[in-house]
Amino acid sequence: MHQAAAHKTPRKMRMTGLLSSHRTSSHNEPADLFLTGGTIINVYSGELLQANIAVKGEKIVYVGPSTHQAGKETRILEVDGKIIAPGYIEPHFHPWDVYNPVSIGEEALRRGTTTAFSDDLIFYIEMGPKLFQDFMDAFSKMPIKYYWSLRTAPQSPMKDEKQVFSVENLIDVLENPGIQSIGEITRWMDLINGDPEMARVIARTKELKKRVDGHTAGAKYDKLNRLAMAGIESCHESINGQNVLDRLRLGFYVMLRESSLRPDLSLLLKTVARSRVLTDRLLLTTDGSMPEYYHRHGVTDHLIRIALKEGIDPITVYRMVTINPAVYFGFDHKIGGIAPGRDADMVILEDILNPTPETVISRGKVVAEKGRLIEPFPEVEWEKYFPAASFSRREWVANRDLFRIPVSGQITRFPVIELLNPAITRTDWTDFVSKDGFLDLDTSRFLIVALISRDGSWITTGLLKGFGNGIEALVSTYNTAAQILVIGSNPEAMRTAVNRVLEIKGGIVIYDKGRPCYELPLPIGGVMSEKSLPALAEKEKEFQSILFSKGYPHHDPMYSLVFLPNDFLPEVRINYRGIIDVKNKKVLWPRRDLA
């Protein structure tokens, strides 16, 4: 179906039978907000319908031709000729990618996203189960609705992960109403291999009628069968059309992604259109995109625009970002459509082909007009959730010897990490000679890479290529390990940059020619900034410019920082265990304990 379907004449709702004498009290009371003259995208029937909408409190109380609820004190929005769609739903959000849930929430809301189902990873790791539940409660009152997905394991090995991610802790948090799914399950091979603790958590999730979000990147068809049997219900990791069809045919909900790292949506939708598959189980997501990408392109409105450009029927497209995710999470009685009893989350559009809203209504109130929020989000007491004193358990300073690699013997075969794209690596086994008991390397060919615990108690040191060789020192606490990642060629500059990051208690720092040339403090957990999204977009462009000038060859350098310490992407990673072969779970070079 093509965009021409968008121009069919809207139907008017009939008066007959709609004005019953048996009205509820809310049906008789004057509305707080009344929209008149607009055309509704009815995601239930697939129609465009002319109707009025009455809102009382945070709920829609009437949809139809009558004006009886437009009282003297009612705020009237005359939207003749406009399109009214349900508020957009982001089903797989990472509100910690340098921005924080307030700054990205403000950006998403002004562009029409009124609900976000969000990843808890950094929040749970740093807060622990009890404080994270307090955090969820505080954010449940934001103008944008935040619901959460509970990780069952970290993305990078942790010293105390068995305790933090114990079954008892997970089930306690899982029963909180703010949690609506578990996932994304990156350690899916553990599930296939019958991990009993993961199975217990999934079983309890099913009992609570919550969802199990997968991360099935790399899983072939037979393994997808086994993951479906184990309880996985969705995946956002399709990178080609066959991935989409395989998962859809096996009963998964498929989240089609367009992100700064993986701008795949057009390609995936071509398969959807060509194959003429049903779309009820297709959702659209931005996954975790970087600030500059969101600021330049948009959020959910950007996804809609891409889908419309691909010729997907407009009502089908809007269903993918409204009722489809609502049904997936079992929330279609609350969100995802415009009908009595639903939450009053709506966007007013100039035209169905222009998904960036003129007006956004969330929780029954007009919250944005002409691309601007009416008022900012409430301030958050970040120190309560991420106390500065918790950044490191002790005072310490880095020295340049941290970045030397001790070896024995004259020749050492070493597992160099080669970066193939922003996220994927391979192992390049290379022979090095030793000098004074340490690896002797040519920093014009290799960079030193290290992951250091925030408290300086351990370090894994390795070598990196494919990142560009002009970097003296880059230090970042923005990564999925939430530890100190160091990349560079000059140990003295690296030492100085690490100590600067310790001083500001988290951030990204670059040194060049012995001097600082870039600094982005990340005071919220060492991972997030307090800056607005537009300000972060400018800082990201500055960061990219520096790295590109130093030879970084890929398109999204921030993601390289995110993923180098993880434990699930191929082929080789640097983390708490050491330099590891991900597939075989083998330590290729161990970490060193320092204190």
Q: Within 10 Å of residue 515's Cβ, how many Cβ atoms?
A: 10
- With residues binned 3-state (H G I as helix, E B as strand, rest as coil), the percentages for the chain, rounded to 5, are 30, 30, 40
Q: Please state, for a pLDDT cut of 70, what percent of the chain lies above it.
A: 95
**CA distances from residue 409 to 406, 435, 543 in whole angstroms, order as listed:** 10, 10, 40
Say whether pLDDT at 519 is over 90: yes
> E strands along 103-178, which residues?
113-119, 145-150
Say whether pLDDT at 21 is over 50: no
Say whether pLDDT at 57 is over 50: yes
Cα gap 166→160, rounded to integer Å: 10
Cα torsion through 181, 183, 189, 193, rounded to 10: -30
The pLDDT score that the predictor gives to residue 595 is 74
Give the chain's domains with CATH numbers.
Answer: 8-85+339-369 (2.30.40.10), 88-336 (3.20.20.140), 388-593 (no CATH)
Say whether pLDDT at 303 is over 60: yes
| pLDDT top residue among 25 and 388 | 388
The pLDDT score that the predictor gives to residue 26 is 61
State if pTM tops 0.85: yes
Cα gap 83→40, rounded to integer Å: 6
Cα gap 586→571, rounded to integer Å: 11
| 164-221 pLDDT, tens digit each | 999 999 999 999 999 999 999 999 999 999 999 999 999 999 999 999 999 999 999 9
**Backbone φ, ψ for residue 508 (5° rounding):** -120, 125
Q: To 10 degrees, what angle do helices 265-275 and 300-309 make?
A: 50
* Band (18; pLDDT cuts 50, 70, 90): very low
Query: What is the mean predicted confidence (pLDDT) over 24-52?
Result: 91
Say whether pLDDT at 15 is over 70: no
The pLDDT score that the predictor gives to residue 95 is 98
Q: How far is CA 498 from the centre of its chain?
A: 27
Average pLDDT over the chain reads 95
Cα gap 375→11, rounded to integer Å: 36
* Band (6; pLDDT cuts 50, 70, 90): very low
Give bridge partners of residue 273 from the DSSP assignment. Answer: none
**Backbone φ, ψ for residue 58 (5° rounding):** -100, 10
Give bridge partners of residue 212 from the DSSP assignment. Answer: 182
Residue pair 179/117 in contact by the 8 Å Cβ criterion? no
**Per-residue tokens: 384:** 């309560």
Q: Which residue has the tokens 């071509």?
A: 270
Residue among 497, 490, 481 at smallest CA distance from 398: 497
Cα gap 254→205, rounded to integer Å: 19
Query: What is the mean predicted confidence (pLDDT) over 569-591?
Result: 97
Residue 55's H or E segment, with its range, is: strand 52-56
**Backbone φ, ψ for residue 29 (5° rounding):** -75, 150
Amino acid type, 369: E
**Per-residue tokens: 276:** 């003429």
The pLDDT score that the predictor gives to residue 19 is 34
Q: Within 10 Å of residue 203's Cβ, how many Cβ atoms?
A: 12
Cα gap 133→138, rounded to integer Å: 9
* Band (469; pLDDT cuts 50, 70, 90): confident
Exposure string (b/e) for 366-384, b if CB count within 10 Å is 16 or more? Answer: ebbeeeeeeeebeebebee
**Backbone φ, ψ for residue 573 (5° rounding):** -140, 165
**Per-residue tokens: 412:** 């050492």
**Per-residue tokens: 273:** 């259109």
Q: Which residue has the tokens 């920082």?
A: 561
Look at residue 519 and give its three-state secondary structure.
strand
Q: How far is CA 348 from the centre of its chain?
A: 26
Cα gap 124→331, rounded to integer Å: 24
Q: Please state, for a pLDDT cut of 90, what percent of the chain lies above it.
A: 95
Residue 296's H or E segment, with its range, is: helix 291-297
Query: What is the mean predicted confidence (pLDDT) over 18-45?
Result: 78
Residue pair 53/40 in contact by the 8 Å Cβ criterion? yes
Say whether pLDDT at 64 is over 70: yes
Say whether pLDDT at 8 is over 80: no
Query: What is the mean predicted confidence (pLDDT) over 114-118?
Result: 98
Helix runs in 276-402, H state only: 291-297, 300-309, 314-320, 323-328, 382-385
Residue among 252, 245, 298 at smallest CA distance from 268: 245
Residue pair 86/324 in contact by the 8 Å Cβ criterion? no
The pLDDT score that the predictor gives to residue 521 is 98
Residue pair 495/488 in contact by the 8 Å Cβ criterion? no
Query: What is the mean predicted confidence (pLDDT) over 219-239?
Result: 98
Residue pair 369/349 in contact by the 8 Å Cβ criterion? no
The pLDDT score that the predictor gives to residue 2 is 40
The pLDDT score that the predictor gives to residue 1 is 40
Residue pair 582/569 in contact by the 8 Å Cβ criterion? yes
Query: What is the mean predicted confidence (pLDDT) over 564-573?
Result: 97
CA gyration radius for the chain?
26
Query: What is the mean predicted confidence (pLDDT) over 141-154?
Result: 97
